[in-house]
Structure 1
Amino acid sequence: MSETTNRSRSRIKLFLLALIGFGPLFVAYAVFFYFPHLLPSTTTNNGELIDPPILLDEVDDSEKLVGRWSLILLKTECGNECDQLGYLATQVVKGLGKDSSRVSKVLLESDHAPSFKQSRDAFYDFQSLKLTNTEALSQISKGRSGLFLKDPNGNFILFYPLKKAGKPMLNDLKHLLKLSNIG
């Protein structure tokens, strides 16, 4: 009888060890697929997530932007707001410190874009590129002026309207650059 008792105890111990190892996997699977309301719905990003991301295939000389993070200003009729966005983009890149070389600032222009009436001082260090089709980006910005964040793979991933440009954008960029090995 002692041999059967030892065998039973050994099986119970083996079952408990397997349960400790595989139990969390089964619980995670069940929560994810059968109880999605238990999953957190909040995010840590401050910008507006562009889902699905827009690819950079409609920009002339887009190879200049691949491999680097970019803050992109779409040239629209935005008055003083464009100057503020240009200034904020410059300050955000400076605020990155040693990671500032990983981020470029880009001014996207289209053939039918209005000419800037404001000073060009805010954009002296921006790369200027031509955009062949502004429809997708214009739909996301919804007529608001703001900055787009592009990842090193060429995807537009976040949009920052003027009220969220600045410190919130800097926090997002620091977080992304910390987690990213590319760009």
Structure 2
Amino acid sequence: MTPEVVGVVEAPGGKGRATPKRKVAEAANRRPLVPTDRKAAAKEARASQRAERDRQYVAMQTGDERYLPAKDKGPVRRYVRQYVDARWSLGELFLPVAIVMLLLNMLLTGVSPELAFLGLVLLYVFVIAMVVDVTIMWRRLRKKLIAKFGDDAIQRGLMMYSVTRVFQIRRARLPKPQVKHGDYPE
């Protein structure tokens, strides 16, 4: 006769060991709420956060999708960035034009108030032209996104993502532009 082992039943596909007692399982999971060396723990946390920020900054410069911040990840966001970067827009000229117009306005106010007023009107006309330009850009981009990615591609915040990118000076955009003017995405 074969001796039987009492209490241990091996089921097919089982874990092959006894379930630990509750007290043992809780003791294994117990960790202190506050680390014993708080200064070292804080230093380590700062170092890991710094490494993560550095990794994200390099990704913003190179366009490495793996380490981009969550707001810039994904094929739809990449397509929006490429479309906006490929397009010439009035928005990227706004800051230089506004600075020049305001400086001229300050210089002309003492000499000729009529010319200063005309400069201000021209600045407002430029702003209205930018709004029209951005509206046309978004309508075209939206059609292309729906055609390429489907109706689910239009997510909340995508319009503002593209609009804010349009209004940035091209050299200051992050993630850096990966395409040249005129190289539209497929």
Same fold (TM over 0.5): no
TM-score normalized by the length of structure 1: 0.25
TM-score normalized by the length of structure 2: 0.25
Q: Which has the higher strand share?
A: 1
Q: Which has the higher helix share?
A: 2
